[in-house]
Structure 1
């Protein structure tokens, strides 16, 4: 009796996890499309043949859904390749970070994140009031990114204050280059990335 109940429980848990993952996959697809109404938990539920009740069961509410979606994309993104005590020189580390960000920001998940953020309140206080879990997840990215950048250069003679400044502007600068790539441009974006890399190296290298 107990064994049968345990087996059924595992099956239920597997089904629940499968449903949750399917809904998060549907969220990526819907949000990345940028179509009107794509930022809709109801639409995402329908994409997986589920109901709003399923959304509430799996995520609590729409805030929980967006927070879970952002958390999973962060897990997929991984971390910067450099840690303390590695042998790569400063220019190589900066170039690798620029390349990783550029490729990451051109991904389907990055487009989905961009469209979700565009639909959320711009004012942090309003975002925290309406979507507290989502706001907390987005806020955690800032600290994680800043810490990752500090770790990437920790074993080099680099001013931590300058690393913080670079960490603050790199994501916005890379979004600008990615936007140029999407919209079409006469600029050489490879040259632009090299120029940005060289500027950062010159600023960090004391």
Structure 2
């Protein structure tokens, strides 16, 4: 192997490491919940870099946001780690719900919420102004649907019910997480148990 090839590989590794550290720092900044954290210059300052260096890595703010979203998706992985391939219906639903309950309190999820709050609500506007970010977000639902399909593939559960469950879980879990964040007199562990029980009963019938 020539010295030039070795040099290129080392430079490439340094570039990947630099990109990863920028993404992690951007997530930390966004996870504060400060609306100003979505600013490219603010993220550059928090990272300890310049906007020019970030643009070199990601192209523009759309590229940075899309990369942040992809980075968080890659860290989540596919099926929840606690989901046993031979588990009961109850165990599998519980693994999905409890993994999401934990994940929604992680910095990555807090960063995503801050970012989504700053994005246009109208899909046409989002796709026009931030096409790469829009493409990344739009890929999440079919991926989540497939995750739920694989989670119950061997149990002969009605596929329509699985699709409906997949649509319900993220919205329900964000509501419970919001209650936990804002403070509530209710027992949210009871809420999780109730949601799990209701979904199991629905899928069984």
Q: TM-score, normalised to structure 1's length?
A: 0.93
- Taking the aligned partners of 1:48 and 1:204, their CA distance within structure 2 comes to 46
Structure 2 unaligned residues grouped into runs of 5+: none
Cα RMSD for the two superposed structures: 1.7
1:26-41 aligned within 5 A? 26-41=25-40
After TM superposition, give the deviation of residue 8 of structure 1 in Å: 3.0
| Alignment correspondent of 1:67 | 66
Structure 1 unaligned residues grouped into runs of 5+: none
- Taking the aligned partners of 1:7 and 1:145, their CA distance within structure 2 comes to 40
Cα deviation code 1:131-163 (max 9, x no counterpart)? 111111111110000011011111112110011
- Taking the aligned partners of 2:174 and 2:35, their CA distance within structure 1 comes to 22
| Alignment correspondent of 1:11 | 10
SS at match of 2:25: helix
| Alignment correspondent of 2:192 | 193
Quick check: 60-69 or 48-57, which moved more?
48-57
1:70-149 aligned within 5 A? 70-81=69-80, 86-149=85-148
Count of equivalent residues? 203
After TM superposition, give the deviation of residue 34 of structure 1 in Å: 1.5
| Alignment correspondent of 2:152 | 153
SS at match of 1:204: helix
Runs (4+) off by over 6 Å: none
Q: Would the aligned equivalents of 1:23 and 1:44 in 2 still touch at CA under 8 Å? A: no
Q: Would the aligned equivalents of 2:34 and 2:114 in 1 still touch at CA under 8 Å? A: no
- Taking the aligned partners of 1:52 and 1:171, their CA distance within structure 2 comes to 34
